[in-house]
Amino acid sequence: MKKKDLLILGFIAGLLILGASLFLAPTEQRAPDIKLGLIDGSEIQLASLRGKPVLIDFWATTCSSCIKEMPQMIQLYNDYKDKGLTIIAIAMSYDPPNQVAAMQQRLGINFPVALDLTDTASEAFGGVRLTPTHFLIDPAGNIVLQKIGELDFATLRQQLDSMLNQPQQNALLQQEQD
């Protein structure tokens, strides 16, 4: 290859790396305070979960990657729910509620499942269009991870362990809310 071609390829590779880092790099933005309508008819205000880590999972019943990672998501929830983790699976607006409910039952999803019928949640999180898309929110209410595609559950567990092993900070956050 010519030197010019190598420079162009290097430039393109650099742009791809930069673009990928924007999706994978930890963020420090505040999680939106939205109310989510759950499949069981109840509602949950995201801000009411401050003081605990929250994993938001935008998914669809037609998304094979979403379905593939759901058993690991359920295991993660089972392992961390008593330590304070909340997981909320938010079904995309194009997913019919009856299909979401059937998939929840079929997969044995035992954490809250929300319906985003009007795209309110996806817009609040920056216009989510691809599934799965995940947001990890720390106890202070900051988005510390945004991931499009399947999760690396080993890395996620390390992050959760780190968050949950900060009892003084978490106690202070809880006192601020009260």
Domain 26-177 has CATH 3.40.50.150: no
User: How is the beta sheet containing 54-59 ordered, strand by strand?
Assistant: 29-30, 142-148, 133-137, 54-59, 86-91, 113-115, 35-38, 43-45
Q: Indicate the SS3 state at residue 30.
A: strand
What per-residue confidence (pLDDT) applies to 175?
A: 47
Phi and psi torsions of 92, nearest 5°: -65, 160
Token digits of residue 69: 């990672």
| Per-residue pLDDT of the chain in tens (178 residues, 90 and over written 9) | 666 655 555 556 555 554 554 444 444 699 999 999 999 999 999 999 999 999 999 999 999 999 999 999 999 999 999 999 999 999 999 999 999 999 999 999 999 999 999 999 999 999 999 999 999 999 999 999 999 999 999 999 999 999 998 754 444 444 444 4
Task: Indicate the burial class of 159 (C-beta count within 10 angstroms; 0-12, 13-18, 19 or more).
Answer: middle
Choose among 171, 61, 149, 148: nearest CA to 113. Answer: 61
